[in-house]
Amino acid sequence: MNKLCIIFIFLFAPLVFSEQPDPILYMHPLPNSEFVSRQTTLLLRFKKEYSVDKQQINDLFSVAGSINGHYPGKTFFSDDEETIIFKPDKHFRRGEKVTATLHSPYFKNNTFTFQFNISIVHNNRLQKPVAKKISRDHLLNKNVQTYGSVRTINGVTVPSDFPRIDVLINKKGTGSGRLFTGFRQSYFMILENDGTPYFYRKSNDFLMDFKVQPNGYLSRNVDDRDTNEHFYITMDHTFNYVDTFAVKHGYHTDHHDFQLLPDGHSLLICNDIEIVDMSKIVDGGHRSARVFGHHFQELDSNKNVVFEWRGWDHLDIKDAIEIDLTDKSFDYAHMNSICLDYDGHYLISCRNLSQCLKINRNTGEIMWVMGGKSNSFTFINDTDQNSYQHMIRPVPGKPNHYTLFDNGNHHNPSYSRAVEFKVDTTAMTIEKVWEYHHDPELFAGWLGSVQRLPNGNTLINWTGHGRPFANEVTPEGEVVYEAEGSQSLAVYRTYRFDWQGKADRPYLLLESMGDRIILIFNKFGDDNVDYYKIYEGQTPHSLTLFDTTSATRYDAVDFKNHSRHYFKVTAVDKTGQESTASETKGIDVKYVNPGENIIKNGNFAAGKQHWNLNTYEGAQADGTIVDDSFKFVIHETGSAPWHIQLKQTNIPLYQRKQYRFEFDAYAENRRTIEAKIVKSEPPYTNYGKIGRTALSQREKHVSYDFVMNYNTDLDARVVINCGGEEGNVFIDNISLKVLPSTDVASQKNPIPEEFQLFQNHPNPFNSNTSIRFSVSKSAKVHLTVYDVLGQQIRTLVSELKSAGEHERVWNGEDQKGQNVPSGLYMCRMRAFGTVKTIKLLLVR
């Protein structure tokens, strides 16, 4: 066991660490280890010179807990015929000390006894803590740039919310194969070089890692928000789901990486939260800190754990970089990649330690550490080393060479790069043998990937957000391919693989546009489709043939308002063979005639019917009807407008339609409210970009016109937010109407006549503000935030931008990710040799 492991266990464990006996090559849990999951199995692997057969293992384990006493269980070999697994018949008790005795003539006195301590945490799958200084708003898709309407790209039809993809460079000399990527909370997809989708599927998951596994299956992570389940799923060459994979021992499956090995084994990262007395580790540490830890497991082909490596046993918590260890909740390691090295040992990356580690697959010992405070090497030509990196991978055919995406959060100044290092384990040196910086320089503070291709090129993802999610460069640094996606969509990883697939059924999506329903369907990878059959009905089990078409889009019209319809689609090939049917999907028809009030009971003549008043975060308020007006009677204001919220849901808004939102209101004293139409779920998009409304004791009529420049939403929400300020509020005559003849052409990204910097929204702001700008032609744009003294606070944009409108979000942090104080700031845009400036007011 290396010194790093011994030091860490001493910090956490009250017992003296004892070495495992000589016959044992690997064991889990380790003697005297802390925070062991109550659902753990015991693993044992003898050195090869010690032969153990199936008869000998039956009486190998005696296990007893300090609370429950004797634990009977099943002892068996894994599929490698070397790893012995003891699975207790029932889970261990929380907080108990477990004593395990091994019976074998290979031990001195024929036995070896060791102890380990079970975690006191009831559920090791608690929600991940969020560091105070890290904003999570960038995880949400705000103002997503999409195609804006259903369209067909080279025979493949995509829905209106499909992320817009711009191929900027596509030269000869790219690697073979297609691009595999996923836009978080949007779509995962396979793309041709020209941007044509070869395959796509919609998903609301935090898509992280969509790729081809060694057995030819596709895999992706699944993040089920309803059940809080995380797992990986594999798909075959027909795009059908085949299998699922999740970590064992009661941990939470991490979404960063998953490797399916050629022998059917799999590698997964585990999330685990423990209650740690940090006062014993650092001065000022919290006595009951919620510490987020990472481990990894190897599962055999039967999905039994054959290897578990726990961060608690091996990583020094004090190695964390720029993590406040006195906080009551923090993530000190943040493991974000795992794979096998060229020699079969494990490689992992721990972002918050700025460490990449090589782990012995036979023993679990750390073989070396690249970077961070416990670095094993001398970097002979790279003083910056790696900082908050992602995706370490061995370079195929070049032993001891590794690529990684160096996010560079703590480089000075911060910058990101793709880099290749050569490791010399004799001289204990690391040499930088290749690197690539984007031109212009980019800083990607989170996510990112690097893949070395068979032709020697390198494929890099700069994490999306309007940056290249696919950037392929030659060994000499020539850019042969570059593609950008929607500005507000993050991309975790992008790959290129040679892969062929053919769907056995169409994939169907539906969109409602008033009395018209648009069907989008594609039988991906199949060039032999002659036409499609469309089936329709008002229940899922009463579908009959509705029509046929040779296109991959169909517009069904003249449906009755407030009706629901179900559809499925099949494909017929050129021999007349009909495919399996798509999934049956239903959709509502909801439309409003121009001039008709979409809001129900907007004048409160029916009292509070159709309205709900909710309070949050300690705010208290009642609602009552006074003279046919709704009165907010506010007892406790809360700290934000939305903490007191009157809402009505089920509001249909159609893309490209122009709306007028009106109401009458006054307050008992001067104050502001928020009255707006928003998305009913995260990220709660403010469709009309309507800010706060100032009120006084004099009743006023308020009217806002806006164009629905987002995708159609049949379940939007009108909200009246009255929290955060004193003073009762009266509101009446709320209406939302479609203006006549307003099928406005999409204004998502018009080409402006000049470059502009628009006022930020909201302003003032207390967490995030959106800054829009536009350029009339492709130009190098610099968008920078300064304080009132002229000191540079944060560079938001410094790159070549295409003609059109763009947007960036500033979360009130400086270049190092630290919160800046309340006050007045300047946002300066420089393009075409001209400067424009707006004022930003941050109020915390």
Shortest CA distance to 665 belongs to which of 729, 614, 597?
Answer: 729
Say yes or no to pLDDT of 576 above 70. Answer: yes
Q: CA-CA distance, 642 to 637, in Å (whole number)? A: 10
pLDDT mean over 720-742: 91
Q: Residues 582-608: pLDDT tens digits?
A: 999 999 888 888 888 999 999 999 999
Answer for the pair 256, 269: CB distance below 8 angstroms, yes or no.
yes
Say yes or no to pLDDT of 764 above 90. Answer: no
pTM: 0.78
Cβ-Cβ contacts under 8 Å for 226 (sequence gap 6 or more): none
Shortest CA distance to 556 belongs to which of 573, 571, 568?
Answer: 568
Range with the poorest average pLDDT among 64-68, 241-245, 642-646, 788-792: 788-792
Q: What is the DSSP letter of 353?
A: G
Say yes or no to pLDDT of 53 above 70. Answer: yes
Q: Residues 557-571: pLDDT tens digits?
A: 888 888 899 999 999
Q: 109-139 burial string, b = 16+ CB within 10 Å, else e?
A: eeebebebbbbebeebbbeebebeeebeebe
Shortest CA distance to 599 belongs to which of 685, 719, 682?
Answer: 719
Say which CATH class 508-589 falls into: mainly beta
Q: What is the DSSP letter of 139?
A: G
Say yes or no to pLDDT of 748 above 60. Answer: no
Average pLDDT score over the chain? 88
Answer for the pair 142, 683: CB distance below 8 angstroms, yes or no.
yes
Say yes or no to pLDDT of 136 above 50. Answer: no
Q: CA-CA distance, 599 to 588, in Å (whole number)? A: 18
Give the DSSP per-residue string, 522-541: E-TT-S-EEEEEEEEESSTT
Q: Residues 94-134: pLDDT tens digits?
A: 999 999 999 998 988 899 999 999 999 866 554 443 333 33
pLDDT mean over 700-713: 88
Q: How many residues appear in the chain?
A: 844
pLDDT mean over 658-677: 95
The CATH topology of domain 3-117 is Immunoglobulin-like (2.60.40)
Say yes or no to pLDDT of 4 above 50. Answer: no
Say yes or no to pLDDT of 340 above 90. Answer: yes
- Where are the chain's structural domains? 3-117, 137-497, 508-589, 612-738, 756-842
Q: CA-CA distance, 202 to 204, in Å (whole number)? A: 7
The CATH topology of domain 756-842 is Immunoglobulin-like (2.60.40)
Answer for the pair 729, 695: CB distance below 8 angstroms, yes or no.
yes
Helix, strand and coil in the chain, % to nearest 5: 5, 50, 50
Answer for the pair 459, 495: CB distance below 8 angstroms, yes or no.
yes
Range with the poorest average pLDDT among 29-43, 154-168, 371-385, 722-736: 154-168
Shortest CA distance to 559 belongs to which of 509, 519, 514?
Answer: 514
Say yes or no to pLDDT of 520 above 90. Answer: yes
Which amino acid does the sequence have at 421?
F
3-class state of residue 142 by DSSP: coil
Fold agreement between 508-589 and 612-738 = no
Question: Please, which pLDDT band fits residue 88 given cuts at 50, 70 and 90?
Answer: very high
Q: CA-CA distance, 444 to 465, in Å (whole number)? A: 10
Say which CATH class 612-738 falls into: mainly beta
Answer for the pair 217, 234: CB distance below 8 angstroms, yes or no.
yes
3-class state of residue 591 by DSSP: coil
Say yes or no to pLDDT of 744 above 80. Answer: no
Question: Please, which pLDDT band fits residue 389 given cuts at 50, 70 and 90?
Answer: very high
Q: Residues 621-640: pLDDT tens digits?
A: 999 999 889 999 999 999 99
What's residue 463's pLDDT?
85
Give the pair of three-digit tokens for residue 572.
């017929």
Range with the poorest average pLDDT among 216-230, 263-277, 491-505: 216-230
> In degrees, to the nearest 5, what angle opens at C-alpha 458 toward C-alphas 456 and 464?
165
List Cα–Cα distances, 227 to 237, 502, 637, in angstroms: 28, 31, 33
Which numeric CATH code is attached to 137-497? Answer: 2.120.10.30
